[in-house]
Amino acid sequence: HGGWIAARIAKRPQGVAFEPGAVVPLRGVPHRIVHWTRIRGVTRAALSAEGEPIIAVCGEAAHVPRRVTDFLRREALADLEKAVRTHTAVLGIPARKITLRDTTSRWGSCSSKGHLSFSWRLILAPALVLDYLAAHEVAHLKEMNHSHRFWALTHKLCPRTEEAEAWLKRHGASLHGYG
């Protein structure tokens, strides 16, 4: 069992704290966290004077980690709501509710009541991955299983399903190392 345990420990994501100078992916694009002490405003994605993608955080330094997390959750919810709307329109069915969680064992879920739940960390992955997870859970609104019909619906909504799944398999665990 020692080899299995060592392999699991080695695969654990390296931690990247949400602090000034840290590099965090947003929609798969690396962004450096910059703390603006003299400017008031909301946390936002921007470009530095040199054209580098940044997450600009205003306010007190002690609040940077929470503000970055809150910003990423807002971005995740906006992107997921848009993707779910697009996919439910194709299938002609509604999603009753969308919630965000910080799960470690699954990226999304669909309840029999039509409630969709997603990991906010999907905003760290490339947009294709977030879209695939939205398509996957929307397909469950019609097929609450992983049958051939379910996968046909998922592929209809997201033709690049295999590419997104491969990215998640290769890089998904690393998303839990941020924050």
Q: How many helices (H) and strands (E) does the chain have?
A: 5, 7
Q: Using alpha carbons, select from 128, 107, 113, 115 the residue that is nearest to residue 175.
A: 107
Name the DSSP letter for residue 43. -
Q: 179 falls in which pLDDT band (50, 70, 90)?
A: very high
* Residue 40: predicted pLDDT: 78
Task: Bin 172: left if φ > 0, else alpha if -120 < ψ < 50, else beta.
Answer: alpha
* Residue 37: predicted pLDDT: 85
* Residue 141: predicted pLDDT: 98
Cα four-point dihedral sign 135, 141, 143, 145: positive
pLDDT(159) > 70: yes
* Residue 3: predicted pLDDT: 67
Taking the alpha carbons at both ends of the chain, their separation in whole angstroms is 30
Name the helix (H) or strand (E) containing 162: helix 161-171
Mean pLDDT value of segment 77-91: 98
Q: What is the mean pLDDT of the chain?
A: 93
Is-above-0.85 flag for pTM? Answer: yes
* Residue 41: predicted pLDDT: 85
Per DSSP bridges, beta strands 29-36 and 115-119 are unpaired
CATH no. of 2-177: 3.30.2010.10
* Residue 10: predicted pLDDT: 55
pLDDT(115) > 60: yes
pLDDT(163) > 60: yes
118-131 per-position pLDDT tens digit: 999 999 999 999 99
